[in-house]
Structure 1
Amino acid sequence: MADHLISGRRALDTRRPGSQGAGGPAVARGGRLARLAALPAADATGLVAACVVSGAVGKPLACTVYATAVISILAAGGQHRLRICLRASDQAGQILAAAALPLPVLLAWLPERRLLVLGICSAGLVLGCRVAATAALRAVHRRGLLAEPAVVVGAGTFGAYVAELMETHQELGLWPAGFVDDGPPRRDLPVPTLGTLSELAEVVQAHGIGRVIVCFSSNCRDEDMVALLRASSPLGADVCVAPRLYELGMAVPRGSLDEIWGVPLIPLRRRPRVRLAAKRAFDLFVGLVLGIAVTPVVLALAVAVRLRSGPPVLFRQDRVTGEGRVAQVVKLRTLEVHGDPDTRWEVPGELCRPLGRWLRATHLDELPQLANVVRGDMSLVGPRPERPYFAQRFRHEVPRYADRTRMPAGLTGWAQVHGLTGDTSLAERVRFDNYYIEYWSPWLDAVILARTAAGVVRAALPSRPARARAPRAPRRSRGRTAPTVTVRAWP
């Protein structure tokens, strides 16, 4: 593998000295930071100009609150993402929405007419500043400056075509550093092969790659590609996937797509530390509030467990709560004490009394785990924590099981609200857990918590058995006998 990386580095240095070879990865990182700051700087400039033009500059607090809110909305919506196709018109709708949403908050400082002028000026000037910033970036890219090294996954005909487009259209700000693919290296490619697919993470780190363009590869299955891309995600490179049927229109907002000279790309989501910090802050706040609110309920249930089953009231067990993390979680005891709670999968019926069965059905036995959430051992929402014995076993037996540890374990989860608890399909649980990790958002957490609360209420309420209705006699019309209807059983 070292020979691949060294030969790729030599080819990289001789291709375009002004981009990577002259300064190494440090220059590439500096250029990336400069391009990342272009759109936020353009937005801030447009908002300052809008406050001046609209006459709202006399209220500095209102202008500060408004500008901060607009920039935060744009950042949360992914509008500060470093795009390949620098076309500001694709973000016009998001800019208009971001300029309008914070306006009601300013009613305490500004009259309605001035707010309307401020919103219109903000949307127009932010869009205009973005047009100017993207035009400047394209001009800089045409001179060979601030270009970002990219690696193409898949050295087939389509991958070679994409690499040729990057070389031809320098205004995109990408230059192909090389290919990553299995099989013997091809000599008819415009750039060298830097390594195999299993070496993707090493190639990205060694060459300071900023973009990974995933094209079709006949040498790698899609399920294997998923594992490779997930392993490379912590390295900081943006990953874009070219859809197989890229010539067909997709029901995806244009602001969420990217493209290389007419070839659409789907950017993959990243998990920045800011989102994890926001999730932790949400867990801490909601965990404290819920912990205080349910304390009387937990105390009453603890007394009931003590009276019905005797001591101990609480059950403590080590669980895997993240990558390389094991924590002791706390639950109300629902089973009789037995010798192998850490290695037994199925729960024998004779070990569970009626109170324990009710607690397990309603999941109220897990309320003490709010203490684990507040301490940071777990999250409110996430993949369910598993015992170390089974976690190690399933890691080798169930595909993608190890990927669940990318997110902290949770008190409830996307799989749980779909009924995937207890002795259900592990493959389906893993699929739902990884879906949650890939598409996590604060709104999804709120939905899962609401569905969990509704499920607990439904399970706690006594179910009413449906009353069986007696069959009614056939109606007879006056003077006539109702015809006999023959019902044929399904064969």
Structure 2
Amino acid sequence: MTTETLRSAPVGVVSSAPPAQLARPSPLPAIDVLALAVAVGIAGFGWLSAGYALAVLTVLAWQGMYRVRITPRVADEVPRLLVAVAIPLPLASSGTALLAAGLLITLRGVGYRALCAARASGRLVEPALLVGDVAELAKLVREHPELGLVPREFPDGMPPAELAELVARHGIRRVLVRSAEPRDELVSALRTVRELGVDVCMVPSLPELGLAVPRASLDEVWGIPLIPLRGRRLAGPVKRAFDVVLGTVLLIVFGPLLLVLAVAVRLRNGRPALFRQLRVTGAGRQASIIKLRTLDEHPDPDTRWDVPIRLSTPLGRWLRATHLDELPRLLNVVRGQLSLVGPRPERPHFVARFSADIPQYRDRHRMPAGITGWAQVHGLHGDSSLADRARFDNQYIEYWSPWLDLVILARTVRALASRRGGAR
């Protein structure tokens, strides 16, 4: 389908043209590489200057500066560009940093002008799926071709669960949402869509009021602000590296204690010293999770929710109270079956049951399960509200960062030291 045919298609009909004809990769990384290459070349190429350029690109990526906005303005990005060239300053002279900043700002400005011109001429357009109360939004998009969007409204009456399939089938690269229902189903659908690499933006419920969000993080459609959802594409590899390094260190440090406790359990309770149980550990995967055995026997361990404390030995009760029975799970972390921090791994029987009854419970499995987590450090374990657990687990996933993992681990240590909570 040609661009002209696509633009004249009625709202509500999604084009079946191949995605490659409708969307282009972000040009911003290439623009920034060119700007930094020129700056480094003028300053004199060397290992330090090359490292400086790589560090600037890394900071820009971490700041989310490679998302192509619907309404790009280089003026909004200047503060973040200056921060990016300033952070790795020990690797370069101040003159190189100033030159890099000037070139980044200039070339991005030129690139944005070219982008808007190509959009306005119809040479660079992409379909945008509008969901919810979007009549005004669709009207503005059609009236402003420089935005480069072809509006397609999500059909009324179609279940939100079909949103991801519709997006994947028709090569949609942007989804704009405003005041849509049903809420829980839509939230889950948008999370799935985002995992496909689609740019999802929300219109604030009161767009007339100022938001405590940097302008470089916002987008807009002719004066209507849009809040892009956070992307998590780097979460997997970064989190795994964090787990491998810290998990290995913790296993080395606590290995002797684990061995002593295993021998004590073996002498007191007999074989085996370790208890293994199948748990759902994220993304539909299951793994055999291990811990020190604290019960003489456990009737129906896979389908019984409450723990029969009367069957616990004195040593077992102490291990559970101090949470030292969880130490063997460090082996699961190093093997890649668990994360140090994440939603609590649950038994398959209860995952199926809770997913059917509790809104967004299934969404908490988007990230690997962990030994401790955001819900646990808020005291949500044992017989606490499962809806609250799901809320905190999903909040953790939405706002994950290495720093948040460190905060949770620190709070877990504090809780263990005071014996008031922790990873259960």
TM-score (norm 2): 0.92
Q: Does 1:32 align with 2:18?
A: no
The aligned runs of 1:380-399 (5 Å cut-off) are 380-399=340-359
Mapped to 2, the partners of 1:252 and 1:279 lie a distance apart of 26
Mapped to 2, the partners of 1:387 and 1:424 lie a distance apart of 17
Q: Shift of the alpha carbon at 1:22?
A: 10
The aligned runs of 1:327-406 (5 Å cut-off) are 327-406=287-366
Letter in 2 for 1:226: V
Q: Does 1:246 align with 2:207?
A: yes
Residues 392, 224 of structure 1: alpha-carbon distance in 2 compared, 3 angstrom cutoff: closer
2:405 to 436, 445, 450: 445
Letter in 2 for 1:449: L
Residues 260, 314 of structure 1: alpha-carbon distance in 2 compared, 3 angstrom cutoff: same
Q: Shift of the alpha carbon at 1:354?
A: 2.9
Mapped to 2, the partners of 1:299 and 1:287 lie a distance apart of 17
In structure 2, the partner of 1:76 is 62
Residues 226, 74 of structure 1: alpha-carbon distance in 2 compared, 3 angstrom cutoff: same
Q: Which moved more, 1:72-81 or 1:332-341?
A: 332-341
Post-superposition Cα deviations, 1:228-276, rounded to whole Å, max 9, x if no partner, equal: 212323333211111110011111111111111110001112332x321
Q: Does 1:65 align with 2:47?
A: no
Check the 8 A contact 2:279/2:286 in 1, yes or no: yes
Check the 8 A contact 1:153/1:197 in 2, yes or no: no
In structure 2, the partner of 1:180 is 154
Q: Shift of the alpha carbon at 1:21?
A: 7.0
Q: Does 1:44 align with 2:33?
A: yes
Residues 399, 23 of structure 1: alpha-carbon distance in 2 compared, 3 angstrom cutoff: closer
Q: Shift of the alpha carbon at 1:312?
A: 2.1
Residues 380, 162 of structure 1: alpha-carbon distance in 2 compared, 3 angstrom cutoff: same
Mapped to 2, the partners of 1:280 and 1:99 lie a distance apart of 28
Mapped to 1, the partners of 2:148 and 2:179 lie a distance apart of 22
Check the 8 A contact 1:240/1:268 in 2, yes or no: yes
Q: Which moved more, 1:256-265 or 1:342-351?
A: 342-351
Mapped to 2, the partners of 1:166 and 1:441 lie a distance apart of 34
Q: Secondary structure at the match of 2:272?
A: coil
1:199 to 162, 165, 187: 162
Mapped to 1, the partners of 2:406 and 2:159 lie a distance apart of 42
Q: Does 1:95 align with 2:69?
A: no
Residues 342, 288 of structure 1: alpha-carbon distance in 2 compared, 3 angstrom cutoff: same
Check the 8 A contact 2:184/2:360 in 1, yes or no: no
Check the 8 A contact 1:181/1:197 in 2, yes or no: no
- The share of aligned pairs that are identical, in percent, is 53
> Higher Cα Rg: structure 1 or 2?
1
2:107 to 122, 129, 132: 129
Structure 2 unaligned blocks of 5 or more: none
Residues 24, 342 of structure 1: alpha-carbon distance in 2 compared, 3 angstrom cutoff: closer
Q: Secondary structure at the match of 1:270?
A: coil
Letter in 2 for 1:386: E
Mapped to 2, the partners of 1:434 and 1:315 lie a distance apart of 29
Mapped to 2, the partners of 1:136 and 1:415 lie a distance apart of 47
The aligned runs of 1:74-473 (5 Å cut-off) are 74-104=60-90, 106=91, 115-154=93-132, 156=133, 159-176=134-151, 178-183=152-157, 197-217=160-180, 220-272=181-233, 274-459=234-419
Mapped to 2, the partners of 1:304 and 1:22 lie a distance apart of 65
Check the 8 A contact 1:369/1:411 in 2, yes or no: yes
Letter in 1 for 2:30: A
Post-superposition Cα deviations, 1:203-234, rounded to whole Å, max 9, x if no partner, equal: 212321111111234xx232332122123233
Residues 14, 138 of structure 1: alpha-carbon distance in 2 compared, 3 angstrom cutoff: closer
Q: Which moved more, 1:304-313 or 1:316-325?
A: 304-313
Check the 8 A contact 2:16/2:170 in 1, yes or no: no
Q: Secondary structure at the match of 2:24?
A: helix
Q: Secondary structure at the match of 1:315?
A: strand
Q: Secondary structure at the match of 1:265?
A: strand
In structure 2, the partner of 1:188 is none
Residues 389, 22 of structure 1: alpha-carbon distance in 2 compared, 3 angstrom cutoff: closer
Post-superposition Cα deviations, 1:306-344, rounded to whole Å, max 9, x if no partner, equal: 333333211111111123211101101111213322222
Check the 8 A contact 1:14/1:21 in 2, yes or no: no
Q: Shift of the alpha carbon at 1:134?
A: 0.8
Mapped to 1, the partners of 2:192 and 2:397 lie a distance apart of 14
Residues 307, 42 of structure 1: alpha-carbon distance in 2 compared, 3 angstrom cutoff: same
Mapped to 2, the partners of 1:142 and 1:259 lie a distance apart of 16
Residues 175, 299 of structure 1: alpha-carbon distance in 2 compared, 3 angstrom cutoff: same
Q: Shift of the alpha carbon at 1:198?
A: 4.5
Q: Which moved more, 1:86-95 or 1:354-363?
A: 354-363
Letter in 2 for 1:103: L
Q: Secondary structure at the match of 2:275?
A: strand
TM-score (norm 1): 0.80
Letter in 2 for 1:298: L
Q: Secondary structure at the match of 1:206?
A: helix
Post-superposition Cα deviations, 1:461-482, rounded to whole Å, max 9, x if no partner, equal: xxxxxxxxxxxxxxxxxxxxxx
Aligned residue pairs, count? 415
